[in-house]
Amino acid sequence: MKEFWTSMASLMGVYAFFQTLLHAVIPPELRFASVKFSHRIFNYFSSYCYFDITEIDGVNTNVLYNAVQLYLSSSASVAGSRLTLSRQLNSSSFTFGLSSNDRLTDTYRGVHASWEHVVTQRQSQGFSFRPVPDEKRGFTLRIKKKDKSLILDSYLDFIMAKATEIRRQNQDRFLYTNSRGGSLDSRGHPWESVPFKHPSTFETLAMDPTKKKEIVDDLKAFAEGESFYQKTGRAWKRGYLLYGPPGTGKSSMIAAMANYLSYDIYDLELTEVHTNSELRKLLMKTTSKSLIVIEDIDCSINLTSRKKPKSDDVRSIETRAGVNSSEDGNNNTITLSGLLNFTDGLWSCCGSERIFVFTTNHIEKLDPALLRCGRMDMHICMSYCSFEALKILVRNYLGVDMEGDDFSDGLVKELKKVIGEAEMTPADISEVLIKNRLNKGKAMCELSEALKTRAERRRRRASSAREENPTEEEEQEKRELEMRVEGGAGSEEDGPGKSKEGGDGERTD
């Protein structure tokens, strides 16, 4: 063994001697050219090509590096053996990552791409105005040369899109409001935000399943329809109108839409906006992948129906439906035209993948110009609680299935019969269930009594209304009955003087 190490030391000494001799005889330029030439020969005969993606590109952060790191985190959590864990700001989950100098193979359209996370120590530098990290980080992508076009044309774009989706799903959503009116904060933003934590989903939403599926399919088609909107030359936006009585779940529907799409919500308070220009500025400061919500649009400012002009030739300024009169005490000069341009004009195209949601309790009060397609594409009626919606509420609050073995068939049939006549909102039914959620039997009995009471009250009210204000059909039936009575009385009076056979009442001998 001693002789072996002695021989190894001799060889190392000989190698060091020849290396020193080459450095002394061959100039540095020639050595650099020879190394470069050997690399070219190696790359020419190699079937692979390599791409380096560094963390810092010059003085700026490389966005592609962050995207690759986030994209590989989903695969690393499954395939990696030694991983790093991290949690970003405003993130609701942990992300995995490759450790230093670890490798991972990804497959895209049948093509294998090998990723290596390269981490090296940065050489000490002199004074710099911009601090740089001590470590130099980057990813090295190794692919076959024949797959180069596929990787560069679509794979990197796929990584960027996938990373954006992962980041949006992991990041907490925010609820924005313009409570300051048109004033800006220190960063020049007109919106204030708080984390959005509403738990409503389409699974918990009390609504007819068929209508619910229609809405979900429409939202999914919109979120995946970027190429369609570009091909047809339409702005990538969509409008929804939620209308119906109070307590029917309009706000819960908005929260469910935001949670399903992982969008932020911009709750626009029109009473805090003074001019159309402020409205446009607020729109410009909204981000893509967001819901812009205007609740109770019929109550916020005067945007109901257009007023009639005072003359046929001149339309006065009072015909602008959005201008509030001075009698109301407001100085808002938002016009209906300004709101229409906000939702369907050129300014509405300054962002992409945005949804406008309007809510109202009285759809009949809205101007028809607001209701047309392009502004409110889908009209969703949030009506009273149906039997299908009732089953969802019972499952949510009591944790049981109405059509299971927990309740008698008689009770279920009774509820199914009376719920349509009662016209109770999901909010009213939820209150009954919440109050008795610890006693399922009592909750259902009290709910049944509440529905019966409401249905009986509505029947009495409808009967009283018919007696006070009879309908046109009832008036017509009453007139026809009176005419038949009068006609019958006249025939009896004339009967004795008439003969069925002779017709003139005279007898013939």
Say how far apart CA 429 and CA 397 lie, in whole Å: 10
State yes or no: pLDDT of 481 exceeds 70.
no
Sign of torsion over alpha carbons 65, 70, 74, 76: positive
pTM of the predicted protein model: 0.64
Q: What is the pLDDT of residues 33-91, one digit of tens each?
A: 766 666 667 666 678 888 888 887 766 678 888 888 888 877 654 455 566 666 655 55
| H-run or E-run covering 455 | helix 440-468
CA distance 419 to 455: 8
Least confident of 115-124, 181-190, 324-333, 362-371: 324-333
pLDDT digits (tens, 9 = 90+) for 241-262: 999 999 999 999 999 999 999 8
The answer, yes or no, to whether residue 313 has pLDDT greater than 60, is no
| DSSP per-residue letters across 202-218 | TTT--S-HHHHHHHHHH
Q: How confident is the model at residue 214 (pLDDT cuts 50, 70, 90)?
A: very high
The pLDDT-based confidence of 330 (bands split at 50, 70, 90) is: very low
pLDDT tens digits for 125-167? 555 545 555 678 888 998 888 888 888 888 988 998 888 877 7
Backbone angles phi, psi at 381, to 5 degrees: -85, 115
Query: pLDDT at residue 360 above 50?
Result: yes
Write the CA distances from 445 to 410, 428, 432, 456, integer angstroms.
Answer: 12, 15, 10, 17
Residue 449, pLDDT score = 92
Mean pLDDT of 101-124: 82
Size of the chain in residues: 509
From CA 73, how far away is CA 385, in angstroms rounded?
44
Alpha-carbon Rg for the chain, nearest whole angstrom, is 38
pLDDT at 304 over 50: no
Return d(Cα 163, Cα 160) in angstroms, integer: 5
Retrieve residue 241's tokens.
Answer: 């109108």
Burial (CB count <10 Å: 0-12, 13-18, 19+), residue 444? buried
Burial grade of 225 (CB within 10 A; 0-12, 13-18, 19 or more) = middle
In whole angstroms, give the CA distance from residue 88 to residue 100: 19
Sequence-separated (6 or more) residues with CB below 8 Å from residue 481: none
